[in-house]
A and B are shown apart, each in its own frame.
Chain A
């Protein structure tokens, strides 16, 4: 073995070790949550191999807060936001990609403003708007500011622009109108983009916290994140066993979905050309 080859092998080994170390660090909170959730409270700070397993923490967490209701709220929120985002984003992206109209450039810049000025920053004014509309403490109020997504509009505009004009024209020759062409030609071609964006959108809404915290104040509208915060901030101090169980309960749907679809997920990102 030459010296450089040995050096290269050494460097490679170092990189592999580094990559694994990083991975262990990154998964540690999840690993801890799993450990603590399945063991009795005495083992939440001690890691003994002979610790008995239990499901009691899950039972306690489930009984201690109306998680079922929080799930319903969160699913309703994420589904509602995603559905509206997809429809509005498709229409707007199509308009920007394929229509010539006065003020298009300015309108596009105005859309891009939301990339920077995200709704999280405008909580005070948006709260005022929602109370003006009389919908404070409702699920739609949580979703409204996010329903038009600049990110989505931008993505779809880029994707639609790559659709060959000939396909568009062929559809129109067959007598399809603007919306029919969009539905038959553009939407099917943009499928990977929809998947990638859908995943980002759902995980964003699933984990969003500040705005829901501000705008909700009852069990009927609270999403999981806010429910979890209310539940973990008691006067009696932190009970990690029950919090870890609750964390796993809350994160489980997304985690499972990701584990099942991780390859497709990355590939749809790749095909979506988000880079």
Chain B
């Protein structure tokens, strides 16, 4: 009994430092955000006061918020499936031992090591009308010039493309690690059975990769709300908020307008969305977490 008791104390002591930091910088701010979202922003002549749902009313009536939210939905729908599919394709290509696989692997992975804020400037050049790289290529085929980042119809797609470019290589590593752990006997058995490579992939490889896909999916979802660095350089949310995402708008409200209370309400939106997704995904993930 005493040993169990002391084991309990030891357990908590081991956990304590990490738990304290997590509480201070994750749990406390999450709760504080909720409290702040019911107050007004302090001004020199007007201290913060309880305003009830005022910030949420502003939020519901704020067209820029709604546009950012919708943009974020499209951003998620664009980046998540594309980056996962490409990551899987890359992993399969590298795993197959094509000629120059070292180069392929390096090429796919470089975006992970390059700072987004720096490459965003380079992408800005790629998308520049007329003499930008994209235009130099499309120009060869006689396509008319297009203002990629300056048109609401294409700006978000460009921003999505950059995010996919950034993420796919990172996810590839996880798939690659998983692929290399699939026992070769499966492939041999499939070959004896005369199954096509596609069948083998669909019936054997893909199901075996399912846990990895889930793991990557969680990361992709989080990133679709988190990855806004390139927007600071490429569009600053423009044209006319066409590329404003919720976190980017939150930054503007919180640190350009200094309306911290409204920023808290915006943060709550992200917290609720991510919390909801977390509950859904942890339900699915439960098995995986305990499967060892």
Mark A residues whose CB is within 8 Å of B.
Answer: 8, 15-16, 18-20, 22-30, 32-33, 44-45, 87-89, 91-92, 94-96, 99-102, 104, 107, 110-129, 144-145, 147-148, 150, 153, 158, 161-162, 178, 203, 206-207, 209-210, 213-214, 224-226, 228-229, 232-233, 238, 240, 243-244, 246-247, 250-251, 254-255, 258-259, 262, 265-266, 269-270, 272-275
B292 proximal to A (CB < 8 A): yes
Pair A147/B229 contact, Cβ less than 8 Å: no
Pair B107/A274 contact, Cβ less than 8 Å: no
User: Which residues of chain B are within 8 angstroms of A126 by Cβ–Cβ distance?
Assistant: 25, 29
User: How far apart are the CA atoms of A104 and B7 in the complex, in Å?
Assistant: 12
**How many residues of chain B have a CB within 8 Å of chain A?**
101
User: Which residues of chain A are within 8 angstroms of B271 by Cβ–Cβ distance?
Assistant: 117, 121
User: How far apart are the CA atoms of A206 and B118 in the complex, in Å?
Assistant: 12
B10 proximal to A (CB < 8 A): yes
Interface CB pairs A-B, < 8 A, 21: A19-B98, A22-B89, A26-B111, A27-B110, A29-B111, A110-B19, A114-B26, A117-B274, A121-B225, A122-B29, A122-B30, A122-B267, A129-B29, A207-B114, A210-B228, A229-B233, A251-B113, A265-B173, A266-B176, A273-B177, A275-B212
Most B C-beta atoms less than 10 A away, residue of A99, A178, A259: A99
Within 95-134 of B, Cβ neighbours of A (below 8 Å) are at 96, 98-100, 102-119, 121-126, 131-133
Chain B, Cβ-Cβ closest to A158: B292
User: How far apart are the CA atoms of A104 and B8 in the complex, in Å?
Assistant: 9
User: How far apart are the CA atoms of A23 and B126 in the complex, in Å?
Assistant: 17
Mark B residues whose CB is within 8 Å of A.
Answer: 4, 7-12, 14-15, 17-22, 24-30, 32-33, 36, 86, 89-90, 93-94, 96, 98-100, 102-119, 121-126, 131-133, 165, 168-169, 173-178, 180-181, 197, 211-212, 215, 218, 222, 225-226, 228-229, 232-233, 247, 250-251, 254-255, 260, 263-264, 267, 270-271, 274-275, 277-278, 282, 292
Pair A238/B121 contact, Cβ less than 8 Å: yes
User: Which residues of chain A are within 8 angstroms of B7 by Cβ–Cβ distance?
Assistant: 99-101
Pair A275/B110 contact, Cβ less than 8 Å: no
User: How far apart are the CA atoms of A1 and B228 in the complex, in Å?
Assistant: 52
User: How far apart are the CA atoms of A20 and B94 in the complex, in Å?
Assistant: 10
Pair B14/A95 contact, Cβ less than 8 Å: yes
User: How far apart are the CA atoms of A217 and B86 in the complex, in Å?
Assistant: 38
User: Which residues of chain B are within 8 angstroms of A224 by Cβ–Cβ distance?
Assistant: 115
User: How many interface contacts (CB-CB < 8 Å) are there between A and B?
Assistant: 294
Pair A214/B251 contact, Cβ less than 8 Å: yes
Q: Which of B90, B180, B254 is within 8 Å of A124, CB to CB?
A: B254
Q: Which of B8, B109, B175, B181 is within 8 Å of A99, CB to CB?
A: B8
Query: Given A116-B274, A229-B233, do A251 and B118 touch, yes or no (CB 8 Å)?
Result: yes
User: Which residues of chain A are within 8 angstroms of B15 by Cβ–Cβ distance?
Assistant: 91-92, 95-96, 107
Chain A, Cβ-Cβ closest to B4: A100
Chain A proximity of B59: nearest CB distance (Å): 14
Pair A117/B226 contact, Cβ less than 8 Å: no
Pair A124/B250 contact, Cβ less than 8 Å: yes
User: Which residues of chain A are within 8 angstroms of B226 by Cβ–Cβ distance?
Assistant: 118, 120-121
User: Which residues of chain B are within 8 angstroms of A229 by Cβ–Cβ distance?
Assistant: 117, 232-233
User: How far apart are the CA atoms of A161 and B7 in the complex, in Å?
Assistant: 17
User: Which residues of chain B are within 8 angstroms of A148 by Cβ–Cβ distance?
Assistant: 17-22, 25-26
User: Which residues of chain B are within 8 angstroms of A94 by Cβ–Cβ distance?
Assistant: 14
User: How far apart are the CA atoms of A113 and B276 in the complex, in Å?
Assistant: 11
Query: Given A120-B226, A125-B267, A232-B233, do A275 and B12 touch, yes or no (CB 8 Å)?
Result: no
Q: Which of B17, B98, B197 is within 8 Å of A16, CB to CB?
A: B98
Pair B117/A125 contact, Cβ less than 8 Å: no
User: How far apart are the CA atoms of A109 and B192 in the complex, in Å?
Assistant: 46
Pair B4/A259 contact, Cβ less than 8 Å: no
Query: Given A116-B222, A224-B115, do A20 and B104 touch, yes or no (CB 8 Å)?
Result: yes
Pair B121/A243 contact, Cβ less than 8 Å: yes
Chain B proximity of A111: nearest CB distance (Å): 6
Q: Which of A122, A262, A274 is within 8 Å of B25, CB to CB?
A: A122
Chain A proximity of B289: nearest CB distance (Å): 8
Q: Which of B12, B116, B123, B165 is within 8 Å of A101, CB to CB?
A: B12
Q: Which of A87, A119, A240 is within 8 Å of B125, CB to CB?
A: A240
Pair B25/A247 contact, Cβ less than 8 Å: no
User: How far apart are the CA atoms of A129 and B28 in the complex, in Å?
Assistant: 10
